[in-house]
Each structure stands twice: as structure tokens, then as C-alpha cells.
Amino acid sequence: MAKYMDMDTLRFLLFECHEVQKLLEAPRYADFDQDALNILLDSFKDFADKELYPYFREMDEQAAYYKDGKVIVHPQLEVVLKKMAELGLIGANYDHEDGGMQIPESIFYSLSHIMDSANNNVTGYPSLTTGSGRLIVTFGSQELKDTYVPKMIAGEWGGTMCLTEPQAGSSLSDITSSAIPTEDGYYKISGQKIFISGGDHEYCSNFVHLFLARIDGAPAGTRGISLFVVPKFRPTADGGLEDNDVFTAADFPKLGQKGYVTTHLVFGEKENCRGWLVGEPNRGLKYMFQMMNEARISVGVGALSIATAAYYASLQYAKERPQGRRLSDTGTKNVEADQTLIINHPDVRRMLLLQKAVIEGSLSLAVESAKYSDLVHVTEGEEHDEHLLMLEILTPICKTYPSEMGRVSISNGLQVLGGYGFTSDFVLQQYYRDIRITSLYEGTTGIQSLDLLGRKVTMKNGAALKLLAAKMQESIMAAMAYKELKPYAMDLGEKLKLAQKVIGHLLQFAAQGKFERFTADATVFMDFFSNITIAWQWLKMATSASKALSDNTGTQKAEFYQAKIHTMKFYYKYELPKTLSAAYTLVAEDELTIQKEEEILF
């Protein structure tokens, strides 16, 4: 079987670089030790090898489709949902009392990484069910929990998040779906939701939609949005199911992730759709943010995993494809010599190293972010608040960097294959198409960038930013202990100062109330700041690798650690300097993108 991800790198990140095993000292995770986590990871990899990866191309070629009110998907989905439920994986990160295994999020996201690398067309089905079930568990009544969650984690009922409407995508304040209270405790629901992932198929007997709507008379904007459970079929007192007037109007054919359905759902066309309020009225968006934040990290993990599988596919090709001859030291081509493999050409190595730098840097950031999510669970007071701040500031980066740079990385992977990369005979084109969605759903790159600059950088008087800068300084100090890493540690220190200058410059506009000017280049800022964040992750990885080499504590061979240090150097030579041009743009005085009286776009 072709390699699609690297368990050694995953283990290195989890247990050497980010030391997630330290979490296991908390009573919450007392059921696990490092061996148990390793066994779980290995058994899931085995499952992915057998049940996921072999179906990846087929799910693209036999895309999901809509016919006569039904959505037809690849039959392997049935097998996957059943086996995942049997293994307890759909609710694995839920608390014991909610039917879960209480595994750390960092391990849960690691399982997602394996799954997404093996077959990203499948992951969304169980993971949306996990997320929507957890919303019910966290904010719903006991009755809602008892009615829906056991069937969801058993893989029998699918869960969705129903936010988007034709006129309300990025801006949810404009949603118009409505909920009218009744005396019987339920609400009469009506509205249309588009682009609903995993919204219907034949391998779940019911769908539980976590649905945003306005209760009659609610305030305008986001403060008037409530969250409801709206099932496709209503559970009845005798254990049966009855129709709840939720109609699947279409499945959107797409550029990529063709095996993963994207439905158009119509609620209450016959005025017989019932929904049950989750938590309190008008707090729906706040609740939904729990799922959206989890889903944002999941999308980042999805993107980096698709790019990981693409890297291994292009690496394999580069090791097998002979083409041209190596340039000798004197620069002459010896046509008498045998052809060389393309992996020996520096430009091909540059493309492969770029991919490795992007995917492993992203995975390291994902593990670090997931670890903060675990720490939030097991700490209190000031410590808890600090972990939450770190999680909040890293989440938009964790989602956006792999989505944007993962696409660039796959494009380089496709380039490694030359003309063959563009053909359907090779898989690279599928990865290239599949990753494209990740910078769109769960908040576009533009929206994530506004979140990072407009909200996270400024929140609590810059507290999250200061904390992150302090963590970066700690890593710089740790790296300084190794002579080989010193220049890179100093480079990161310089870039951190540059970031402080750029942010200081932009904050002036916020202070003057010029918010459009403040955030006009938010996406350039995301580019700039996420580049520095990934450089930080690479310095951490290189420090762990240097430690393992110097004190012989590592579990991998020396070449493994040397490759990490080498890739860090590549990142600092080829990627980090791009922050200089981004900084130039960010502090330039011209306001070229702000709409002025005269239109220049024609």
C-alpha cells in the first residue's frame, strides 16, 4: 500500500515535541497511559489502511448524487460508520457520563489526521456527528441528550450543522429561518439551509440537524439567533420515527470532495416541522461557536492531511521517475551517463521540501492547539484562562495556514509529476481539487483573517497576543542552547519584533476608529503572522530533534531528527523571508483596496 501519512512524525510531535503524555497526569485522563494511546493510534491506522484508503479514489469517481429526493453515496460509508461506532470513535472525546471514552483532543485530532490522510471524503460524516452531538451534550436538556446522543454516537443517526442560507453565508446575522413557539414545548420551524454537509444519505436512518433560526420577535442581528435540534424524523413515544417535514431538495455537485454530500434542505414546507430549543433563546450563535471552533481546527487538520497524502504520493513518484541527468559540479551535462531520478534535481527537492515544511509545520501547530484544548479541560483559574486565550488566537491560524499553504504545497506536488500530475491517471489532481474547499467552509480565509486581526489580536487588550509572543520567546531561549539552532532562533526573534512593529502600526487605525483601514489587509496579515507562527513550530521541532540527538533520548533513528532540523533550515531560508514583503505591504500608506467614490474595477 502506498504511504499516505507518517506515524513516526505524528508520534514525534505528540510525545517528544509537545509531550502530550504529560496531560495523562490529570485525573480526567487517568484511564490512559502512553502505551494505550499508541495502541489506539496503531489500531486506527490499521482500520484506515483497510477501510478508508482503498476507497479514496473510488469515492471521487463514483461521486455522491441526488435522485428522486434521495442522496446516493458510496456504500463503503455504511461499513465505515458501523466500524467507527463499534470502536467507540464517534463520541471518543465525550465524557464517560455522556457515553464517550474521554480521550484527549490531541489524540482525537491525531485520529482525524490519519483518517483525513487516508480518505478525506469520509471524515466529515462522523466528525460532524461528533460535533453536533457534543453541542447537545454541552448545552441541551437531559431529554434532548437522552433522545438523540446515544443513536448519534452509535452511528445510526447522522448530525449536521445547519447555518448557511442562500442570503446568509459569511454573515450569519442575516439568517431568516424562523421558529414559532408552541404550547407543547416545541417550535414550528421553517426555512432553507444550503451547503449542508452530510445532510442526507441512505446509511443513517435519521439526521439530527443543529439548526440556527430566529424566534418570532427576536432582536435583529446575531443577538437574535437561537439554536434548535431539528430531526429529519421525529422520535415517537413508542420508539418509532415519524416524518418531520425536512425535505432534501438537492445535492450540490462539486469541484472536489465528491464523495461527501453537500445538501440543500427545506424545512417546514408543509408547516409540520418541529424543532426543540437548545439552551436559552437568542444564545444560539454563542453555542454554535463551540462546534465552529472545533470544526475550524478539524478543517485545518483536514487540509494538512490532504496535503500530507499528496506529499507522499509526489515523493514516491520522484523516487521512481527517471528524467534528465544530474548537472555535474562543473555544470556540464554528461549525456553518456544514465538518466537520473528526478528526486536528485535540486528544483524537485525544493518542491518536496516545501511540501514537507508546510505539512509538518501545520501538523505541529494542530497538535499544539489541540493540546491547549485539553489543557482548558484540566486546569482552573488563571492557568485555564491562559490556555483558552492561546487556543483562541491559534484557531484561525490552525484553520487557514494549512488550507492556503496546503493548496500551494499540493500544487508543488502536482508539479513534481510534470504533465502526469494533470492527468486523471494520477491521484495528485484529486488532492488538489479536494483541498480547495478548506479555505471556504467553516469561515472563508477572509473571515478567519478578520477574526485573527480584528478580534483575536485585540481581545482583552492584546492578552492573547502577548501570551503567544511570550511562548515564542520561551522557544527561542530553548533553541539558543543548541549552537546549530542559534541563528534560526535569532531570526525568529527578529521576525517577532517585526510583527510587533506591524501590529503597532495597524492598531493606530483601530484607535482612530478607522476600522475598514485597520482590517483592509487582514488576509495579508494572516499570511504574515501565520508564517511566523509556523516558523515557531519549526524551531520547536528542531529543538526537540536536537535534544534527541544530543542526549540520545529519542525513539527514532538519527536521520529522522536530522531531517527535521534540515527542513527547519529550509523553512527559514525559503518561507520565513516572505514575511518581509508582507510587512512592506502591511505598513505601506496607499489604500488601494478601500472603495472610494470613483469605481476603478470595470
User: Binding residues for ligand FAD, per CB under 6 A?
Assistant: 160-164, 169-171, 195-197, 254, 262, 437, 440-441, 443-444, 446-447, 450
Which lies closer to ligand FAD via its Cβ, residue 441 or residue 538?
A: 441
Smallest gap from Cβ 29 to ligand FAD, in A, equals: 30
Smallest gap from Cβ 396 to ligand FAD, in A, equals: 13
- With 0-12 / 13-18 / 19 or more C-beta atoms within 10 angstroms meaning exposed / middle / buried, residue 372 is buried
Which lies closer to ligand FAD via its Cβ, residue 450 or residue 526?
A: 450
Q: Which element (helix H / strand E) includes 473?
A: helix 459-479
- With 0-12 / 13-18 / 19 or more C-beta atoms within 10 angstroms meaning exposed / middle / buried, residue 552 is exposed
Residue 294 annotated as catalytic: no
Smallest gap from Cβ 234 to ligand FAD, in A, equals: 22
Strand partners, 67: 70
188: left (phi over 0), alpha (psi -120 to 50) or beta: beta
Q: Are 397 and 533 in contact (CB under 8 A)?
A: yes
With vertex at residue 102, the alpha carbon angle to CA 98 and CA 103, rounded to the nearest 5 degrees, is 150
Which lies closer to ligand FAD via its Cβ, residue 292 or residue 417?
A: 292
Which lies closer to ligand FAD via its Cβ, residue 228 or residue 538?
A: 228
**Active-site hit among 16, 294, 442, 575:** 442
CA–CA distance, 330 with 325 (Å, rounded to integer): 13
Which lies closer to ligand FAD via its Cβ, residue 165 or residue 245?
A: 165
Which lies closer to ligand FAD via its Cβ, residue 52 or residue 291?
A: 291
Strand partners, 234: 242
Smallest gap from Cβ 256 to ligand FAD, in A, equals: 9
Smallest gap from Cβ 164 to ligand FAD, in A, equals: 4
Q: Are 136 and 186 in contact (CB under 8 A)?
A: no
Report the length, in residues, of the chain.
Answer: 602
Smallest gap from Cβ 278 to ligand FAD, in A, equals: 16
Smallest gap from Cβ 131 to ligand FAD, in A, equals: 10
Which amino acid belongs to residue 428?
L
Which lies closer to ligand FAD via its Cβ, residue 169 or residue 300?
A: 169
Smallest gap from Cβ 351 to ligand FAD, in A, equals: 28
CA–CA distance, 426 with 124 (Å, rounded to integer): 24
Which lies closer to ligand FAD via its Cβ, residue 415 or residue 444?
A: 444
Which lies closer to ligand FAD via its Cβ, residue 267 or residue 312?
A: 267
Q: Which residue is nearest to ligand FAD (CB)?
A: 169
Q: Are 137 and 173 in contact (CB under 8 A)?
A: no
Query: CA separation (Å) from 52 to 5, 48, 76, 561?
Result: 13, 5, 8, 30
Query: CA separation (Å) from 391 to 17, 254, 271, 462, 537?
Result: 18, 32, 42, 14, 15
At 516, phi and psi to the nearest 5?
-65, -40
Pairing of strands 178-181, 206-215: parallel
Q: Are 276 and 148 in contact (CB under 8 A)?
A: no
Q: Are 55 and 74 in contact (CB under 8 A)?
A: yes
Q: Are 388 and 463 in contact (CB under 8 A)?
A: no
DSSP result, 503-540: HHHHHHHHHTT-HHHHHTTHHHHHHHHHHHHHHHHHHH
Smallest gap from Cβ 383 to ligand FAD, in A, equals: 34
Give the residue numbers marked as catalytic. Answer: 442
